[in-house]
Amino acid sequence: MENTIKINFRDLETKEFPVRTTLYEISKSFTSHFNYEILIGKINNKLADLSDKVNQSCQVDFYDRSSVSGNSVYARSLIFMFVVAVRNVLGEDVNVIVQHSVERGIYCEITNHPIDESYVQKIEEEMSSIQKKGFLFSKINASRYDAIRYFQSKNRFDKVKVLKYISNSNINLYRLDDYYDYFYGEMAYNTNAINDFKLTYLKKNSVVLSFPDITNPEMTLDFAVPPLLYQTFQEYIEWGRCLGITNAADLNERAITGKYDEIIRFSEAYFNRQLANIAERIRDSKKKIKLVLIAGPTSSGKTTTAQKLEVYLQSCGIQTHQISLDNYFKDRLETPKDEDGVYDFESIEALDVDLFNKHLAELLSGEVVWVPEYNFVSGKKEYKRRRMQMGKNDIIVVEGLHGLNEELTMSVERKNKFKIFISPLTQLNIDNHTRIHTTDTRKLRRIIRDNKFRDYSAGETLQMWGKIRAGEEKYVYPYQEEADVVLNSALVYEIAAIKVYAEPLLFSVEETDAMYPEALRLINFLRNFLPIPSDTIPQDSVLREFIGGSAFRE
């Protein structure tokens, strides 16, 4: 039996190590390739904790906090440190609820104990102490049954409920100091690596946990509350609590009792009520609104929302005309390219902004305009059948990535525009300490739509995701607070409904595919949910934009 193994790092160099060397020890030989602490490894294209031991020769890679995988590990490990620090400062009976992302931070609530800024400072100091002590994030493989019994004994029933619906016989628990927790992703090797963070006190029992993200991995930026986004999240959280669905287990319980139909109805009614309120606000505005702009990140449901909003506006007695920015792409040969030489359709420079503004000015003057339709096969605009002319009190509804950017609509005064930022801002968690990323909801929507309507595989969509996100960070999120309203397109039931569409596509990603680790992560995420049928999802639901069967033109 050989006593050494060969480790090939990124096809750049190969080194020998003793059999059963931990990935953590191996990583020390490759730190010169990274700017920050290595947080997680990959063995033969499968993510692995640094505490895992390597028994045979293999290909390896590593990730620090500047990468998507590494940053997820950083955030998860930091949350665990936060939970332990709160317990150490405030006592074992205190409950921490990790809610959602907000402005490069994570919004958290602390219950069963009043807190103020002085308590938040003590918690942050305790986190710093834990970080400096270098506690291990120890992974323990346990039977699901034993884990349930353990969490029952500690009165941590959110964990009991979520583990009840997982089919795995065995699960991984993690221990930090003397505290055990369940997460469905990997942790850092020790707390030394989680060395940059801030806590910001908001009000009552809430704080924001901030840390370096992939757009700014160098340091933690100060947190500033984005008022519109924050308010929308809070309203949806409270609505979820009134509904009695705050985590995956709550939704699963509705599924096993067959009461998912009413959740679908309630969710659709909530979304429709938002649209009705927006339509009435536009109708009652003292400003002369001529242009409604709907913008948001990919897979937010912009197209269906624009069509539904037209219905609500028309029910208020307002005649509407819809324009999609996708039809104003420049001809392919004029489209800018990114640093890799690939056409950059995310850039505002990919749009014929001059032509768009010319058409807006003409329409608002009452002239007849032939609106183009972009042929994505030929890469050219075509003028076939869209003849448009506005009446005196008509409104144009525009949907597209850059709708909130004033550069797009410079020919129209700001007072004549109503801007809507749309995104699926889910209030649902897996359990108290495990949030659901809004990005994951959009990613699953995109995978399903790309396969159904564009014939892309899940692997191809996942491969594009990095550039999609970079475009959003550059062209969408900087403008979100310029909106007049934030529209939440999340549906409480949707992950359970899209599971049956997404899982087969994710399982089709081969183990040799570079996107396999991400596909596997999403598969493990979906395992927390029981599926529900999509039969009773209304044809005008925003979800139909992705799964098919929409009453609107697809």
DSSP string for residues in 42-78: EETTEEE-TTPEE-S-EEEEEE-TTSHHHHHHHHHHH
The encoded tokens of residue 174 equal 């993690």
The encoded tokens of residue 381 equal 């605009």
pLDDT band, residue 343 (cuts 50/70/90): confident
pLDDT given at position 553: 65
pLDDT given at position 230: 78
Residue owning tokens 């996942």: 462
pLDDT given at position 352: 93
Verdict on whether the full-model pTM lies above 0.75: yes
Residues 283-332: tens digit of each pLDDT: 998 788 999 999 999 999 999 999 999 999 999 999 999 999 999 999 98
pLDDT given at position 344: 86
Determine the Cα–Cα distance for residues 527 and 498; give it in Å rounded to an integer.
12
3-state secondary structure string across 424-474: CCCCCEEECCEECCHHHHHHHHHHHHHHHHHCCCHHHHHHHHHHHHHHHHH
pLDDT given at position 377: 82
What value does the mean pLDDT of the chain take? 92
**Do 215 and 98 contact (CB within 8 A), yes or no?**
no
Report CA 370 to chain centroid distance, whole Å: 37
Residue owning tokens 């002590």: 133
Res. 1: pLDDT tops 70: no
Alpha carbon distance, N-terminus to C-terminus of the chain: 61
From residue 333, alpha-carbon distances to 346, 353, 374, 380 in Å are 16, 16, 14, 9
**Do 420 and 395 contact (CB within 8 A), yes or no?**
no
Report the percentage of the chain scoring pLDDT > 90: 71
Where is average pLDDT lowest: 14-23, 228-237, 478-487, 531-540?
Answer: 228-237
**Do 301 and 410 contact (CB within 8 A), yes or no?**
no
pLDDT given at position 422: 94
Best CA proximity match to 98, nearest among 428, 433, 426: 433
Q: Which whole number is the average pLDDT over 528-541?
A: 94
pLDDT given at position 167: 81
Which domains does the chain possess?
A: 4-63 (3.10.20.30), 69-226 (3.30.980.10), 230-547 (3.40.50.300)
3-state secondary structure string across 78-125: HHHHHHHHHHHHHCCCCEEEEEEECCCEEEEEEECCCCCHHHHHHHHH
Determine the Cα–Cα distance for residues 184 and 174; give it in Å rounded to an integer.
10
pLDDT band, residue 12 (cuts 50/70/90): very high
pLDDT given at position 554: 52
Report the percentage of the chain scoring pLDDT > 70: 99
Residues 254-277: tens digit of each pLDDT: 999 888 999 999 999 999 999 999
pLDDT higher for 550 or 203? 550
Residue owning tokens 């942790």: 187
Residue owning tokens 């109503």: 418
Instruction: List residues bridging with 101 in a β-sheet.
Output: 106
pLDDT given at position 549: 92
Determine the Cα–Cα distance for residues 355 and 424; give it in Å rounded to an integer.
31
Angle at 117 between CA 114 and CA 119, to 5 degrees: 55
Res. 383: pLDDT tops 90: no
Per-residue burial over 33-43, b = 16 or more CB atoms within 10 Å of its CB, e = otherwise:
ebebbbbbbbb
pLDDT band, residue 437 (cuts 50/70/90): confident
pLDDT given at position 454: 85
